[in-house]
Amino acid sequence: MTIYIKNKHTLQIDEFKLRCCIGEKGSTKNKKEGDKKTPKGKFRIENLYFRKDRIKKPQTLLKCIEIKKNMGWCDDIRFPKKYNKLIKIEKKISHEKLKRKDHKYDLLIPIKYNFKKPITGLGSCIFIHLSKNYKPTAGCVALKEKDFIIMLKLIKKNSEIEII
């Protein structure tokens, strides 16, 4: 099962077309940390992370992980061993906080871009997450909650995302 990002506003799974948004500066084959672009290519997806205090565990075949207060995703090029990985938050390490005040990360799936042996500076924290208003992201793919829930029912553990 492949999730296709056809353009800046369309996510497609089989015959289901869902509205989405991507990076503020479009997509690129040459992703760099902080460039506000979504990486082009075909990638596997990770587990579903969710806010149990806000959303009941969704129906999905993905492994579900409850987001805790101390969870972050490292975007700090000074820490190559932790770069683009889930970490326990430390003050000295730059990170994307997963438990946020807004609702963007109430549901999120990391895209396995620059993932297995991450190269610092090539981009981190590329997620599929929630959007209230389809404003462009910093490089992620975002959908409204109702569409995210539909997507979760369709995808499997071995699903991939192809960003064209």
Q: In whole angstroms, give the CA distance from residue 94 to residue 140.
A: 18
Confidence bin at 157 (pLDDT 50/70/90): very high
Three-state DSSP state, 149: helix
For residues 70 and 41, give the distance between their C-alpha atoms in angstroms, rounded to a whole number.
31
- Residue 128, C-beta contacts closer than 8 angstroms, at least 6 positions apart: 3, 45, 108, 109, 111, 140, 141, 142, 143, 148, 151, 161
* Residue-level pLDDT at 21: 98
The arithmetic mean of pLDDT across residues 26-51, rounded, is 98
Provide the pLDDT for residue 57. 96
Note the pTM of the prediction, 2 decimals.
0.96
Q: Please, what CATH class does the domain formed by 2-163 belong to?
A: mainly beta
- Which tens digit of pLDDT belongs to each residue from 70-126? 999 999 999 999 999 999 999 999 999 999 999 999 999 999 999 999 999 999 999
Q: What is the mean pLDDT of the chain?
A: 97
Domain ranges of the chain: 2-163
Q: How far apart are CA 114 and CA 140, in angstroms?
A: 13
Arithmetic mean of pLDDT, 63-72: 98
